[in-house]
Structure 1
Amino acid sequence: MSDEFDLWRSMSTAADVAARSHATPAHLAAVQAQRLAALVAAARGAPLHARRLAALPDDASLADLPSMDKALLMAHFDDALAARDVDLARARAFVRDAARAGRPLNGRYAVWESSGSSGNPGLFLHDPQAMAVYDALEALRPGWADPRAAWRGAAPGARMAFVGAIDGHFASFASVQRLRRLNPWLAPMLRSFSILQPLPELLAQLDAWQPTRLATYPTAAALLAACQRQGTLHLRLSQLMTGGETLGAAQREAIAAAFGCPVRNSYGASEFLTIAAECAHEALHLNADWVILEAVDERLQPVPEGTLSYTTLLTNLANHVQPLLRYDLGDRVRFVPGRCACGSPLPVIEVEGRQDDVLHLRGAHGQWVTLLPMALSTVLEDEAGVFDFQLCQHDARTLVLRLGAGEEAGCWARCREVLQRHAAQQGAAALRLRHDPDTPPQRGRSGKVQRVVAHAGVKPDAAERPPRRGKLASR
């Protein structure tokens, strides 16, 4: 018999989330400590964690706990589980059947796969309590300024579209399928559309269905916004939601202008679905009562508040079946000092996902010069006005730009100008830029675009830079 969904558990969890939404920072810290102790106790039931925690006392602090990453998790998958009714072989067999996305393994566990952009896909199991937490956070936390926001999706005539990868057990698609299955009355209002199909087919399907709300990745939203401006898409949206990739300010403005509706961003991952939700002030609030993020440097030491981290350690306080303790998420975050004007007590974070690569080019004097992906994306968005692109490194002096079908034909000259100027400002040698008009931006199996791609053969001496650690945290 399935215990995937329990009404009392869902209601009590929702009440808890609602109550903590107005708690003081001191109270949130106490809740974190209590839930961390419970998580560590559960983790000791997993052989991997039992070995790693054996020398630590029961009241060990977060900083005392050893960190972990996806490579360790996948290499010791079975031993990292605190349950014995599931293993890697069964989990892999389950996700091989895409038709089972959104259904529970063993009638109990949600199973999500990461995109594997680093060549090592991850598998993440979530128990029923964790799913109840994610459900409550999704329903209650986005609506700080307007409590009715959580229920607008169920208004008469409302239709919700998810545009993304729908051929695997990816967190966003699996969550939509689960919602449809558990709430049959919602199923007619929710549809998923493949971002990997030919663009004309996607546009025709969206036009035919006419959603009132749409959720997708920022790069896909930018592409659809360009089509809306050109008149090849005709949607009347009340809200557009993005996640899974970094959303730039200019990108948000262009998307909102094209569709004439607010754009709301969120931050989540296969490791924890609802890490942060955006308030009416466009600030991402960390759900700190259920997830801990540590902004750390390349040595996994904490960075000062307000400083962009090298990577981020995640501790999932909700999920006890596959305990994630100080898990290297690979994203870069900054904790914003002070309290948000919306009044929420939850911390505000800014996120730079690790989907994009740092580029290393030869400098004018033979030295290595670093170009950050966020900076490259910003100059292309703000100064060249393009949003659907992929910048690939060919060698230590050459970059190749691919532009999406929705970008105007004459934008290549602007892109070349702003990229060369930015590279020169950073000290790079004369940058060679090539335009690849025959190849659109390439989407991975998850449906997302890696906008800045480094060449694997361009490797500065290790002494000149710290080793790169990142992965994409994808929803």
Structure 2
Amino acid sequence: MNPIRVREQQQQRLQHLLQVARVRSSYYREKYRHIDPGSTRLEELPVMTKAEMMTHFDQVVTDPAVTRARVEEFIEDIRNVKEPFLGKYSVSHTSGSQGQPTLIVQNQFVLDLLFAFQMTRGHYGHRGGFLGFVDALRMLRLPARLAVIINQQGFFPSAWIWKRLPEYMHVYMQFLFIPATDPELVKKINDFSPNVLSATPTTLDLLSLKRDQFRLPHLRQVVTWSETLTAPARHRITEAFRVPLMDNYAAGECMFLTNGCPNSSGAHVNADWAILEVVDENYQPVPPGQLGCKVLMTNLANTVQPFIRYEIGDRLVMATEPCGCGNLMPRIEKIVGRAADFFWVQTAAGFRPLTAYPFQHAFDYRREVREWQAEQVSRNSIVVRLEPVPGATPDLIAAQRRLEERLALTGLRQDLDIRIEPVSHLEADPHTSKFRRMITRVGIPEDLDQPLRDVAEDFAHEECSARLSELVPA
């Protein structure tokens, strides 16, 4: 799309979003009271943090029927994952991998936009901004076949999103949703014979070790999300599957933020519907080619819960040169953050990784728990410490039960000895001044097979983003 036209659309949609926020959200109305109502200059608008969003959730949303209490009650029942909230909204929550988790309420248009981008801008070889007439006829005749490997169930955006597919998507695409723990994973993927295979980088990296078992003659592309894709992992995955790899960068608060570039390691921002600002520690803009301290995201499509200059802790570098793929949208060149956390657990079948997801799902939305930390004290023994909110007492029995339910979904519950204990306060790492939720005292197994060790060491030492725990099927 023409950059000038994109800029015009962006400004028109920002103006509409700001108008909606001022009129329908009491919090934004107060927040913007000193700003010229006709201004659409982002630098004049104050930043919105996660803590601010959650503290004032009921005043931020533009529909008074949407309240934090009602949303939390709704997502407490996993059976609601296929149902619209209040009959018309989609709800999810982030994992809290970068701190406080966030409740997200979206109108259906946001999801329609996400899937439209996936079918067009996220489709390898497609040259248009949206699905054209010829493309639609071809896909009706030969629907695409998408295999999605899901690592966790629940209201995490990456897992929940596939339960909210618009009806038209089933005309254009056929789907296979399969848990990463399925013992017949490879066979079922082979039998389905997908055109597109989608999973987190960690999952695909581990599957690349089984390359000789895959028979995928119709595979055209691989799509990753949620964790930053490191260069060694990209090499192993592309060597294994021999197709282009498109690495999407997004957030649960704006899942259509980018589409991976087929010609580079970066991702193109869908700038006609989202604004991404790379800033320093003082929220001043950082020029392309330089590493920022954080990013500010504005979702121009979500009018029920406006995310305007919303702070995200990822550190990005924007590209300085036009992309060789021909896409004129801004391109993220590099994402820097922290490594994906996981423990290596001994099972009868060998070593298996245990990610933070079961712990996040068990504890992030317990109202009496302010923070949690899991420590692998020996290979199959884990101590979980819960810090309560002031004046509250954690329900250890309920917390243990929920954690065991989540671990059972990974197939690792029977192999683990888990102990949960309350603590008055959890401290940051004294060496880095950063709080760590996952700590291992045993590290990578000495007798891990070399190919698996390469994967483990890559994720242990390479800097990469933690955003994927809230975006991908986890």
TM norm structure 2: 0.68
| Residue number among 252, 263, 281 corresponding to 2:245 in the alignment | 263
What is the alpha-carbon distance in structure 1 between the residues aligned to residue 334 and residue 327 of structure 2?
18
Q: Which residue of 2 aligns with 1:419?
A: none
| Residue number among 421, 439, 444 corresponding to 2:357 in the alignment | 444
Q: Decide whether the 8 Å contact of 2:144 with 2:172 is kept in 1.
A: no
What is the alpha-carbon distance in structure 2 between the residues aligned to residue 404 and residue 284 of structure 1?
37
Question: In the alignment, is residue 194 of structure 1 matched against residue 172 of structure 2?
Answer: no
Q: Which residue of 2 aligns with 1:417?
A: none
Give the deviation of 1:84 after TM superposition.
Answer: 1.4
1:199-238 aligned at under 5 Å gives the runs: 200-229=183-212, 231=213, 233-236=214-217, 237-238=219-220
Give the deviation of 1:329 after TM superposition.
Answer: 1.5
Give the deviation of 1:99 after TM superposition.
Answer: 3.1
What is the identity, as a one-letter code, of the residue corresponding to 2:323?
Answer: C
What is the alpha-carbon distance in structure 1 between the residues aligned to residue 18 and residue 48 of structure 2?
14
| Residue number among 25, 43, 47 corresponding to 2:26 in the alignment | 47
Structure 2 segments unaligned to the other structure (5+ residues) = 362-374, 376-425, 434-464
Note the alpha carbon deviations across 1:1-55, whole angstroms, 9 max, x for none.
xxxxxxxxxxxxxxxxxxxxx22x2332222222211111111121111111111
What is the alpha-carbon distance in structure 2 between the residues aligned to residue 315 and residue 262 of structure 1?
30
| Residue number among 303, 310, 325 corresponding to 2:286 in the alignment | 303
What is the identity, as a one-letter code, of the residue corresponding to 1:289?
Answer: D
What is the alpha-carbon distance in structure 1 between the residues aligned to residue 234 and residue 199 of structure 2?
13
What is the identity, as a one-letter code, of the residue corresponding to 1:161?
Answer: A
What is the alpha-carbon distance in structure 2 between the residues aligned to residue 201 and residue 324 of structure 1?
41
What is the identity, as a one-letter code, of the residue corresponding to 2:176?
Answer: R
What is the identity, as a one-letter code, of the residue corresponding to 2:162?
Answer: V
What is the identity, as a one-letter code, of the residue corresponding to 2:222?
Answer: L
Q: Which residue of 1 aligns with 2:412?
A: none
Q: Which residue of 1 aligns with 2:5?
A: 27
What is the alpha-carbon distance in structure 2 between the residues aligned to residue 328 and residue 117 of structure 1?
14
Q: Which residue of 1 aligns with 2:114?
A: 134
Q: Decide whether the 8 Å contact of 1:180 with 1:186 is kept in 2.
A: no
Q: Which residue of 2 aligns with 1:78?
A: 58
1:88-127 aligned at under 5 Å gives the runs: 88-118=68-98, 120-127=100-107
What is the identity, as a one-letter code, of the residue corresponding to 1:51?
Answer: E
- SS of 1:334's partner is strand
Q: Which residue of 2 aligns with 1:286?
A: 269
Give the deviation of 1:104 after TM superposition.
Answer: 2.0
Q: Decide whether the 8 Å contact of 2:211 with 2:241 is kept in 1.
A: yes
What is the identity, as a one-letter code, of the residue corresponding to 1:192?
Answer: F
C-alpha spacing 1:349/1:119, structure 2 compared with 1 (3 Å): closer
1:339-418 aligned at under 5 Å gives the runs: 339-352=322-335, 354=337, 356=338, 402=344
What is the alpha-carbon distance in structure 1 between the residues aligned to residue 432 and residue 321 of structure 2?
39
Note the alpha carbon deviations across 1:69-111, whole angstroms, 9 max, x for none.
1111111111110111221122122222323324321222111
C-alpha spacing 1:65/1:404, structure 2 compared with 1 (3 Å): farther
What is the identity, as a one-letter code, of the residue corresponding to 1:136?
Answer: A
C-alpha spacing 1:253/1:135, structure 2 compared with 1 (3 Å): same
What is the alpha-carbon distance in structure 2 between the residues aligned to residue 461 and residue 256 of structure 1?
34
Structure 1 segments unaligned to the other structure (5+ residues) = 1-21, 357-372, 374-388, 393-401, 406-436, 448-452, 463-469
| Residue number among 41, 54, 57 corresponding to 2:36 in the alignment | 57
Question: In the alignment, is residue 38 of structure 1 matched against residue 13 of structure 2?
Answer: no
Question: In the alignment, is residue 252 of structure 1 matched against residue 223 of structure 2?
Answer: no
Note the alpha carbon deviations across 1:257-308, whole angstroms, 9 max, x for none.
1122221211222111111112332241111111111101112211122111
| Residue number among 138, 158, 161 corresponding to 1:172 in the alignment | 158
Q: Which has the higher contact order (CA 8 A, sep 6+)?
A: 2
What is the alpha-carbon distance in structure 2 between the residues aligned to residue 404 and residue 33 of structure 1?
54
What is the alpha-carbon distance in structure 1 between the residues aligned to residue 64 and residue 311 of structure 2?
25
- SS of 1:129's partner is helix
Question: In the alignment, is residue 336 of structure 1 matched against residue 309 of structure 2?
Answer: no
- SS of 1:112's partner is strand
Q: Which residue of 1 aligns with 2:467?
A: 472
What is the alpha-carbon distance in structure 2 between the residues aligned to residue 278 and residue 442 of structure 1?
24
What is the identity, as a one-letter code, of the residue corresponding to 2:429?
Answer: V
Q: Which residue of 2 aligns with 1:19?
A: none
Aligned residues: 366
C-alpha spacing 1:461/1:285, structure 2 compared with 1 (3 Å): closer
Percent identity between the aligned chains?
30
C-alpha spacing 1:118/1:332, structure 2 compared with 1 (3 Å): closer
Give the stretch that moved more between structures: 149-158 or 342-351: 149-158
Q: Which residue of 1 aligns with 2:430?
A: 459
- SS of 1:190's partner is strand
C-alpha spacing 1:155/1:259, structure 2 compared with 1 (3 Å): farther
Q: Which residue of 1 aligns with 2:388?
A: none
- SS of 1:36's partner is helix
C-alpha spacing 1:209/1:140, structure 2 compared with 1 (3 Å): closer
What is the identity, as a one-letter code, of the residue corresponding to 1:336?
Answer: A
What is the alpha-carbon distance in structure 2 between the residues aligned to residue 161 and residue 258 of structure 1?
16
- SS of 2:165's partner is helix
